[in-house]
Every structure is written in structure tokens, then in C-alpha cells.
Amino acid sequence: MASLALGRGLDALFGETAQAYENEGTQQDKIIELDLKDIRANPFQPRKSFDESSLVELANSIKQDGLLQPIVVNEDFDGYILIAGERRLRASKIAKLKTIRCIVVSSNDDKMRKFALIENIQREELNSIELSHAYEELIKLHEITHEELSVMIHKSRTHITNTLRLLQLSIKTQKSLLDKKITAGHAKVLVGLDDKQQQLMVNSIIGQKLSVREVETMVKSINNEKKIENKKIDSLSYNFVSLEKKLKSLGLKTKTSVNKITIEFEAENQIEEFLKKFINF
């Protein structure tokens, strides 16, 4: 029952942005013209990168046809905070406009965070890494499962799970994805490799222009080699019990693994003593 209540709450939140826009036609008093300089960016905006050429295109469109859809803001003690419409706000600044049409709604920090997450998810304006963080934050905020989130945002559970797995990638690999040096398809295949292997594969993808299918084949080969190596290690399992006892009787500390015994020396003279005793061992 708790998850159902959370679900309804989040589902209702998804409708709030749409409702604000619907109110435009019936409650004109909610739409006002505000100075751009009085509007601050949403501090909870999940989107960190914006395509400059796309913003310039939007700016030209706004200059020619005007802003067709107002942005949504929340009134603050010293101005207004943007809730939804960051691309439109940025483009309007590029277009050198002085004012912008706004819908003013009442909101708190928690709602502003959720509005920003939801608007970007609905408009599919986030890159794969930003989308991963957005999904992760919604799951944490509402304490819901991947399955519950999939129902609420109308995306498959597999899509959500696979997108979240991108956060397991190394920071360097994530940056390559953000910089569009590799695709999300490439990145998903690299999940599970260690940092060194990921970097090697990223360099190969960029340098050799590898397709996702080619990367899949290479990663499969790496994983098969890893399995063979693990089997070799497992097969080399020795019984060090009697040797360990003998070494301990000589006052030496030891550590053992399946195929290795390590002797630890605490001082230089211990090495000399060991060598003397080792001759007669």
C-alpha cells in the first residue's frame, strides 16, 4: 500500500507541469512577463550540458516567432527561480531579449527538484549519464523500485535498469560518453570491465571507429579469457598446512591463497636468520 501511495504522489507530480500549461488558456492572470535578469536557474537542474548550436537555433526561432510556450517559475524573496524551461531561458538570453513570458507557481525545494527531473525526462533532453542520475534520484526520493518507476514514466524496466548501470562505469568512460566520443550503446557493453580495460576499449572505439557489435565481440572475448584465467587459478589449489606450520615454527608470519604462500618479514635481521635456517630446511 505504501508504494501505491508513493506512486500516486509521483504520478500526480508528473501532471502538475502539464496542468500549469493547461491553465494558460483559462487563467491568464497566472502568466506574466518577467525580466530575464530576475530569474535564477533551478539549482536542482539535472541537466549539466546544453548543445550550443541547438540553443542558437532555438534563439533564432524565438526572435522570429516569439516564445510559443512560457517557462515555469517560482517566486522567491529576491526574484524568481526557474522550475521548467531552462533551454527556453538560455535561448532567450542568447536572443538578447529583456523579458520572457512566465507561469508563476508555488513550489518548495523538493518540488523544484522533482519538476526539473520530470520535465527533462519527459522531454528526453538529458544525455544518458544525466538520465541515469535523474532516475537514481527519483528512485531515492520516492523509495520506489525500477518496476514502479517504469510504470510512472512509461519506460520499460529494462531501459531503466540498463540506463542506471551506466553509473557503474569509470569517470573517464562516463566523460567519453558525455563528450559523445562513444555512444550509449558502446557504453552499456563496457559495464563490468575494470577501469583499465574500459579505457583500452574506449581508445579502440575512438581510434578504430568500432561499431557496437564489434565492441560486443571484443568484450565477450575479454570475459571468456577472464573465466579461463579464473579456472586456472582455481585448479592450482595447494595444501600449504605443513609448510605453513614449519615456517611459523621459525617465527615467521605467513599468508596463503589457493596457489601462493607469502612470508612477511618485520625486520632486516629476520631475512638473514631465515636464509641461514633455509639452507638446512
Residue from 86, 119, 130, 148 carrying the catalytic annotation: 86
Catalytic site residue 86? Answer: yes
- Distance between CA atoms of 160 and 132, rounded to whole angstroms? 8
Nearest to 265 by CA among 255, 280, 242, 256: 255
- Concatenating the DSSP letter of every residue in 220-237 gives HHHHHHHHHHHHHHHH--
- Distance between CA atoms of 121 and 153, rounded to whole angstroms? 8
CB 90 within 8 A of CB 39: no
CB 90 within 8 A of CB 40: no
CB 187 within 8 A of CB 169: yes
CB 76 within 8 A of CB 35: no
Residues carrying an active site annotation: 86
